[in-house]
Structure 1
Amino acid sequence: MSYLKQTVALKDVKCFALHGFYPEEQLTGNHFIVDLETIFTPSGFDDELKQTVNYEDLNAIILAEMKNTQKLLETVLHNMISKVAALYPFVEIINASIKKLNPPMPGQIGHSFVKLTYTAAK
């Protein structure tokens, strides 16, 4: 028997934020790109939002957490995942990632990258 899985996601959400371990990063800020993806088994298709994830909610969560300055990008992602899981308890998998563009270190680095994956307990 096969099962249908649905993905609702926002990709490449561009933000300027003050995240960073070092105090100067929290003063100068940086540009970030965020992806937030949900995967779940749809309960039906009646053309109503109650049976899916509203990506407007995902956007609001991303923007709120990007304004909430943290030392570690892992903390930012954990907070996003926690909010999505609380709002949509039927979601089975949440992938969240952040790219920090031009991280402040020697050399020409396009971006640093952190990703967290949440899998709901069965």
Structure 2
Amino acid sequence: MSKILKVSLIGAEFFARHGYYPQEQILGNRFVVDIDAQFSASVNMATDEIANTLNYEQLHNIATEQMQLTKQLLETVAHGIADEIMRRFPYILQLSVCVKKLHPPLKGQVGASAVTVIINNAN
């Protein structure tokens, strides 16, 4: 019997300077990142060892590193986070990274704009 585990990081908040327009990069904005990573649990989880799972602290560290790299597009930010997670943890079967820009500067009240990247590595 194979077991699939999903480790999630939900609602990680960041201040960053991503934006297409120069003013967005000057002023900055609040962003929220959600990450879901699924992988095969090939070891006995009863051992209660962090080495047997995907450490969500490491996922947060990757998101933090990538959020500090100013980009114009949310798509580029989300891809950067996803690519780095897959580079460090190639055993992930499916990965979803959602980056939300809170209250984007639009003509009207908008709670957030968002981009989600989904990588399916299960073959």
Map 1:77-116 to 2 at 5 A: 77-116=78-117
Which segment is superposed worse, 47-56 or 8-17? 47-56
Which residue of structure 2 aligns with residue 36 of structure 1?
A: 35
Aligned partner letter, 1:19: H
> By how many angstroms is 1:121 displaced?
5.3
> C-alpha distance in 1, partners of 2:67/2:77?
7
> C-alpha distance in 1, partners of 2:18/2:97?
16
> C-alpha distance in 1, partners of 2:18/2:92?
27
Q: What's the % identity of the aligned pairs?
A: 37
Which residue of structure 1 aligns with residue 23 of structure 2?
A: 24
Count of matched residue pairs: 121
> By how many angstroms is 1:47 displaced?
2.0
SS in 2 for 1:92: strand
* Aligned-residue RMSD, C-alpha: 1.2
> C-alpha distance in 1, partners of 2:86/2:99?
18
> C-alpha distance in 2, partners of 1:105/1:119?
33
> C-alpha distance in 1, partners of 2:89/2:99?
21
Residues 1:69 and 2:70 are matched in the alignment: yes
> C-alpha distance in 1, partners of 2:83/2:53?
18
> C-alpha distance in 2, partners of 1:67/1:79?
11
Aligned partner letter, 2:49: E
Unaligned runs of 5+ in 2: none
List structure 1 segments (4+ residues) > 6 angstroms apart after TM superposition. none
> C-alpha distance in 2, partners of 1:48/1:91?
18
> By how many angstroms is 1:111 displaced?
0.7
